[in-house]
Amino acid sequence: MSIEKVLVADDDPLGREFLGEALQALGYEVTAVATAEDAIERLAKDSPDLVLTDYQMGKKTGVDLLKEIKRRAPRTPVAILTAYGTVERAVEAMREGPRISS
């Protein structure tokens, strides 16, 4: 699988900007949004090859976004990032985690 388009979801403007610029410098086409709701909307429009999301964002978390992506675009890989990781958050994300399909 080739990754060309990346969707970044992070409510922190600096985190969103940093990730977006770093990925663009590596040659990826990046769409950056501030909420899980915006990411869900862009998922259908942009068909990203990868979604990078913050864990904690406003009303919905990165895990909420992961669940919605699994429902709408199950082959899209998702990475959940956080600056405030705990074992509980890691376990929650892994429970919803990736489904590997060929």
DSSP secondary structure of 76-102:
S-EEEE-SS--HHHHHHHHHH------
pLDDT in tens, 15-26: 999 999 999 999
Is 47 inside any structural domain?
yes
pLDDT in tens, 36-92: 999 999 998 999 999 999 888 889 988 899 889 999 998 999 988 877 666 676 566
**pLDDT at position 88:** 73
**Which band of pLDDT confidence, cut at 50, 70 and 90, is reported for residue 33?**
very high
pTM: 0.82
Is 88 inside any structural domain?
yes
Domain of residue 14, CATH code? 3.40.50.2300
When divided into structural domains, the chain yields a total of 1
Is 101 inside any structural domain?
no
Q: Which domain holds residue 59?
A: 5-96
In degrees, to the nearest 5, what angle opens at C-alpha 49 toward C-alphas 47 and 54?
A: 95
**Which band of pLDDT confidence, cut at 50, 70 and 90, is reported for residue 100?**
very low
